[in-house]
Amino acid sequence: AQSVTQLDSQVPVFEEAPVELRCNYSSSVSVYLFWYVQYPNQGLQLLLKYLSGSTLVKGINGFEAEFNKSQTSFHLRKPSVHISDTAEYFCAVSLSGGYNKLIFGAGTRLAVHP
Amino acid sequence: SAVISQKPSRDICQRGTSLTIQCQVDSQVTMMFWYRQQPGQSLTLIATANQGSEATYESGFVIDKFPISRPNLTFSTLTVSNMSPEDSSIYLCSVGGSGRATYEQYFGPGTRLTVT
């Protein structure tokens, strides 16, 4: 079975500062990895995904993530955050090879302060 | 990416009643999923709905409580039956497989359900 651990439930940061949201996963088989963002009272929006190939993936809104197989991590980073990045961020994993169910982490609330 | 709509966007229901949530996609998709997000929590998969076959339910979810229909490749419904306050959640549908094999899922805006 797969599982996802998001190490920080809340991350406060000042505007224009860099941020890293941490995600570790557990799986005995090959997986796909995703980061989603949920703005207040909205559905989930896909930020980026890792399927295979280059371990550094770039997504929307200036976010990027690095897949580290040895550490089973998929941390999300942004070099300079904006107030508008304030939201809940979810890391998710699915079995590779098809459209399989997503298993989500508990989420990290990013709060960007002026 | 697919454009997904859900109806209703929110509802307040009495305990013991049932609510049917609709999920409509603007393109044909092979996979549709229904998730639940309890207040302040993450998302949990309820079931996978494939066209032409019975839905596949996750552990802890049963068809009698959450019957699902998938009559075609662009539409699905989830019914929350005999509701109790514990069913108060956001219910989201997601879709995948609308063309190129991107393996990503797109989510609808969700249905916010409150049971009193």
pLDDT tens string B27-82: 998 889 999 999 988 999 999 998 878 899 999 999 999 999 999 999 999 999 99
pLDDT at position B100, please? Answer: 63
Give me the amino acid identity at A76: L
Contact A99 B97 (CB under 8 A): yes
Question: CA-nearest residue of chain B to A4?
Answer: B42
Give me the amino acid identity at A84: S
How many A×B Cβ pairs under 8 Å? 55
Q: What is the mean pLDDT of chain A?
A: 93
Q: Is B110 on the interface with A (CB under 8 A)?
A: yes
CA dist B111 and B109 (Å) reads 7
What are the tens digits of pLDDT across the range A64-103?
999 999 999 999 999 999 999 999 999 999 988 777 889 9
Give the pair of three-digit tokens for residue A80.
């300079």
Question: CA-nearest residue of chain B to A46?
Answer: B106
Q: Is A102 on the interface with B (CB under 8 A)?
A: yes
pLDDT at position A79, please? Answer: 97
Contact A102 B105 (CB under 8 A): yes
- For residue B86, the 8-state DSSP code is G
Question: Computed over its alpha carbons, how large is the radius of gyration of chain A?
Answer: 13
Contact A43 B48 (CB under 8 A): no
CA atoms within 13 A on the CB side of B103: 18
* pLDDT exceeds cutoff 70 at B99: no
DSSP SS3 for B50: strand
CA dist A83 and B55 (Å) reads 41
Q: Is A17 on the interface with B (CB under 8 A)?
A: no
Q: Contacts of residue A35 in chain B, CB cutoff 8 Å? A: none
What are the tens digits of pLDDT across the range A4-59?
999 999 999 999 999 999 999 999 888 999 999 999 888 899 999 999 888 999 99
CA dist B106 and B14 (Å) reads 31
Q: Are B49 and B68 in contact (CB under 8 A)?
A: yes
